[in-house]
Amino acid sequence: MKNIQRFLMILATVVFVSCGDEKKEQETITIGEEGTVERTTTTNTTARDTAGTTAEGTTRQKGVVQVNLTGNDQMQFNLKEIRVKAGETVRLTLKHVGQLPENAMGHNFVLLRKGTDVVDFATKAASASQNEYIPEGAEQVIVHTEMIGGGEETSIEFTAPEAGTYDFICSFPGHYIQMQGKFIVE
């Protein structure tokens, strides 16, 4: 009976640890022989395959980080968090995996400076249709892609800013509410 309990505890721990794709710390309690209790702390880091691809949709090769971001017709990005290193060259590819045209469901990627009020920026962006929903002279924008519609793809390349946490959004009117995430520079 004790062997079955031990096997089930180990199996549950292995399944739990292997399911995550972010850095997580967890404590495992193992009940040993004679009722002894062992506590073990483990860290589960982001899984990478041999090509350097992470579960977050980024690939690192020869000093360039390739970020693959998608947007859909349900106003969703596939990534809520993107992690890069300060000064790293970032090549971001945005693909609209939906079918609706740009004028109905356009998407872009806008990286905002630290401290930018997202709601205030998005409100100003909503009235900038003549400039792909990027306000003229917007100092809050570090970099942005062009606006694309269903089935389209666009890429930009830039140098990651200094360490910190930045917001990214889609600036099409109203999309920022759901289409936003954190761009974390380490």
Given strand 89-96, what is the order of strands in its sheet? 58-61, 64-71, 89-96, 153-159
Neighbour tally for 14: CB within 10 Å: 11
| Separation between Cα atoms, residue 176 and residue 121, nearest integer Å | 10
The larger pLDDT score, comparing residue 26 to residue 173, is at: 173
**Angle at CA 12, nearest 5°, toward 9 and 18?**
140
- For residue 6, is pLDDT > 90? no
The residue ranges of every structural domain in the chain are 2-44, 58-185
* Token pair of 52 as six digits: 């350097």
pTM: 0.70
Identify the pLDDT of residue 56.
55
Q: Which residues of 98-116 are buried (b: 16+ CB within 10 A; e: fewer)?
A: beeebeebbbbbbbbeeeb
| Separation between Cα atoms, residue 148 and residue 26, nearest integer Å | 41
Per-residue pLDDT of 31-90, as tens digits, reads 444 444 443 333 333 333 333 444 356 777 778 999 999 999 999 999 999 999 999 999
Say if domain 58-185 classifies as CATH 1.10.3720.10.
no
| Separation between Cα atoms, residue 79 and residue 13, nearest integer Å | 27
What distance, in Å, lies between the first and last C-alpha atoms of the chain? 48
Per-residue pLDDT of 120-150, as tens digits, reads 999 999 999 999 999 999 999 999 999 999 9
Amino acid at 54: T
Per-residue pLDDT of 154-185, as tens digits, reads 999 999 999 999 999 999 999 999 999 999 99
| Separation between Cα atoms, residue 76 and residue 138, nearest integer Å | 24
Identify the pLDDT of residue 33.
46
Of 33, 160, 24, 8, nearest to 86 by C-alpha is: 160
Identify the pLDDT of residue 2.
52
The larger pLDDT score, comparing residue 9 to residue 117, is at: 117
Residue 1 binned pLDDT confidence (cut-offs 50, 70, 90): low
* Token pair of 10 as six digits: 């180990």
Identify the pLDDT of residue 8.
45
Identify the pLDDT of residue 60.
79
Q: Residue length, the chain? A: 186
